[in-house]
Amino acid sequence: AQSVTQLDSHVSVSEGTPVLLRCNYSSSYSPSLFWYVQHPNKGLQLLLKYTSAATLVKGINGFEAEFKKSETSFHLTKPSAHMSDAAEYFCVVSFYTGTASKLTFGTGTRLQVTL
């Protein structure tokens, strides 16, 4: 079965410091993985995706993530946090059931950015 675990429900950083949001996945084969961001009272926006090409994936707004098969991880990073990065972040795995492709969401990490 495919699953995804976000290791922190809440992360707080100071503006200008690095961001690390952790995600581990479980999959019986090489998965497609995504990171989405949700700003307060908004829908979900794609940050980046991994689809078995380069293991280091660059996304929007300076975010990037590295796929590590040996560690079954897909952690999201950003070198320098900005106040506008405060939001909830979801790690998502895509898998094929035999009849359809489905997405499984992590429980989310709320990022707080302080001055």
Residues of this chain that bind another protein (CB under 8 A): 9, 32, 34, 41-46, 49, 51-52, 90, 94-96, 99-103, 105-108
Q: Which is nearer to another protein, 38 or 77 (CB)?
A: 38
- Nearest distance from C-beta of residue 83 to another protein, angstroms: 23
What token pair was written down for 94?
């895509």
Q: Are 37 and 62 in contact (CB under 8 A)?
A: no
The smaller minimum CB distance to another protein, of residues 25 and 90, is found at: 90
| Nearer CB in complex with another protein: 77/105 | 105
CB of 104 to another protein, least distance (A): 8
